[in-house]
Structure 1
Amino acid sequence: MTDENGEDQEVNISENKKLVGDSANDILSDATYESIIFEIFYVAGFEPNQNTVANFESFLENRLNKPEGITIELKEIESPGQDAYSVEDIAALEDTIRTEYNQDRRLAVSGIFLDGEYSENTENGSVLGIAYRNTSFVIFEETVQSFSGQAFGPSLTVLESTVLNHEFGHLMGMVNAGTPMQTEHQDTEHGRHCIDDSCLMYWTAETGEGLLNMLSGGTIPDFDSQCLADIQANGGK
């Protein structure tokens, strides 16, 4: 990477290759990083719509303490040409296309909107997104679009926004994954999720089948009061 004077600068990319939740406080607070940049890649035809990006920006502004600003950059990539992607496939793809890493007082996050589906899908669950590193997430946009097109289903904006906010919630350390709980509310049966079935961090927000039921009202869920208390106690808003 180069600095503001165009000179080469050493960057420790290992800081962006840790476990999900390891950078929760860095993401939420301004203690170490005063700004944050999102490098959002998408395969042609699978770009998040403008309303989704606007919703995400509002979501971030409401929850992150970043006085020097939040930047979202969208970048088109060619399709890797796979029908299904494993976590290893996605991480390898990120390593070839990512250009933004933590630098000085600015934290960097990578997101990828992919064609194809998750290789771990089952007959009972079609995964819509996963967080897989401390500053990395993927949205299986082809799968998201397939569910948004179903009769009486929620709009694409509502589906995309819910999945995007949910996966970033995991990077924020939710639930009990880098952001300590203020009260007991982890749904341990379903991993790092909230027990409140109306909360953004409820486990069904990760699968198409579950999310269609969860979004019956057609609105984007938010964090419940318990998740909000955790976020605020760890440096967020």
Structure 2
Amino acid sequence: MKTYDYCRAFRYSGKVNPKIPSMRKFQYLCLFLLLLATACSTDAMDDNPAGDPSGNGSPDGGPGYRGAVGESAADLLSGETFSGLSLQLLYVEGMRPTQATVDNFQDFLRERLNKPDGISLTLQEIASPGQDVYSTQDIRELEDEVRTLFSTTDNLAVCGIFLDGSFEGNTESGSVLGIAYRNTSFVVFGETIREFSGQPLAPSTTVLETTVVNHEFGHLLGLVNAGTPLQTQHQDTEHGRHCTAEDCLMYWTAETGEGLVNMISGGNVPSLDAACLQDLQANGGR
């Protein structure tokens, strides 16, 4: 039986900063409803085919790429077994991540991973599947068709896909911006991100893309308590694999969204808090 850990939407408490003029209150509220009622999703169970506990293996002789989210956390963080990391970012036409997003992502990885042989990244355009809506299974099948970079015995590979269309789990109150769905795989819904970034007062496409990519990769790194053990209790158990610190990259729910609205509206990408960093460092990261 499969279960999924869907990142629940932020809850708005009805409180607005009294220092913000009434028109700006309305604008911030609109931004809150558009941006903070979003969600991410992580597949919480192993996707290995029956009879193949290695996740169907890697064509290049490395570990399988069809494992559960967080299963490869220690291998991603540490350089003991895999001294290098290769990233393949695939995108459909019009959904190529901005160069600033790519640069920010590489900086994030270099700061957190121990890879003495370095981290490489390639970008490649793929044909759009032509779907308006994608299920998690659709995305898995697409990856199986288009992914060409796999792990070897000493180099780990990760695949990220930037799609048009939207996620089938979207509702009127929340839209999914990204999913970590396998041990070395994530997807970003670029079209949905661009819809949000085009709103008044909204953060730029780069800020939203960077936040989503870093957040989903955080799940691949086993945050929080999903392959990388907790060093202190900071998991928001009511809302899945997320951090309780409201200013943390891995935070996803709040009773009031004032602080996060102000943070995002300032154009800043959230960073990992001290508790998440301690978890990563204890599991082989920096």
Q: Report the counterpart of residue 229 of structure 1 in structure 2.
A: 278
List gaps (5 residues or longer) in structure 1. 1-8, 206-210
Q: Report the counterpart of residue 198 of structure 1 in structure 2.
A: 247
Secondary structure of 1:163 counterpart = helix
1:115 equivalent to 2:141? Answer no
Q: Report the counterpart of residue 210 of structure 2 in structure 1.
A: 161
Q: Report the counterpart of residue 95 of structure 1 in structure 2.
A: 144
Specify whether residues 212 and 96 from structure 1 end up closer, same or farther in structure 2 by C-alpha distance, changes over 3 A only: farther
CA–CA distance in 2 between the matches of 1:133 and 1:120?
Answer: 17
Contact 1:37 1:72 in 2 (8 A): yes
1:182 equivalent to 2:250? Answer no
Contact 1:153 1:212 in 2 (8 A): no
Q: Report the counterpart of residue 69 of structure 2 in structure 1.
A: 20
After TM superposition, the structure 1 = structure 2 runs for residues 64-143 of structure 1, keeping only pairs within 5 Å, are: 64-143=113-192
Count of residues in correspondence between the two structures: 225
Output the amino acid matched with 2:185: S
Contact 1:154 1:212 in 2 (8 A): no
Output the amino acid matched with 1:229: Q
CA–CA distance in 2 between the matches of 1:63 and 1:57?
Answer: 10
Q: Report the counterpart of residue 61 of structure 1 in structure 2.
A: 110
Look at both structures and tell me which one has the larger radius of gyration over its CA atoms. Answer: 2
Deviations 1:177-231 (A, max 9, x none): 00000000000111100011110001259xxxxx767613220000000000000
Specify whether residues 78 and 10 from structure 1 end up closer, same or farther in structure 2 by C-alpha distance, changes over 3 A only: closer
CA–CA distance in 1 between the matches of 2:162 and 2:120?
Answer: 17
Secondary structure of 2:64 counterpart = helix
Contact 1:204 1:214 in 2 (8 A): no
Deviations 1:140-196 (A, max 9, x none): 000001101110011111110000000000000000000000000000111100011
Contact 1:36 1:108 in 2 (8 A): yes
The offset of 1:46, in angstroms, is: 0.5
Secondary structure of 1:90 counterpart = helix
Specify whether residues 185 and 54 from structure 1 end up closer, same or farther in structure 2 by C-alpha distance, changes over 3 A only: same
CA–CA distance in 2 between the matches of 1:148 and 1:134?
Answer: 29
Specify whether residues 10 and 87 from structure 1 end up closer, same or farther in structure 2 by C-alpha distance, changes over 3 A only: closer
CA–CA distance in 1 between the matches of 2:59 and 2:112?
Answer: 30
Contact 2:197 2:203 in 1 (8 A): yes
Output the amino acid matched with 1:234: N
Secondary structure of 2:217 counterpart = helix
Specify whether residues 55 and 133 from structure 1 end up closer, same or farther in structure 2 by C-alpha distance, changes over 3 A only: same
Deviations 1:56-99 (A, max 9, x none): 01000000000101011000011100001000000000000111
Deviations 1:102-156 (A, max 9, x none): 1021000000000000000011110100000000000000000110111001111
CA–CA distance in 2 between the matches of 1:10 and 1:190?
Answer: 36
CA–CA distance in 2 between the matches of 1:72 and 1:168?
Answer: 14
CA–CA distance in 2 between the matches of 1:123 and 1:136?
Answer: 27
List gaps (5 residues or longer) in structure 2. 1-57, 255-259
After TM superposition, the structure 1 = structure 2 runs for residues 39-50 of structure 1, keeping only pairs within 5 Å, are: 39-50=88-99
Partner residue of 1:37 out of 86, 90, 107: 86
CA–CA distance in 1 between the matches of 2:115 and 2:271?
Answer: 20
CA–CA distance in 2 between the matches of 1:183 and 1:54?
Answer: 31
Q: Percent identity between the aligned chains?
A: 59
Q: Report the counterpart of residue 208 of structure 1 in structure 2.
A: none
TM (norm. structure 2) is: 0.76
Output the amino acid matched with 2:284: G
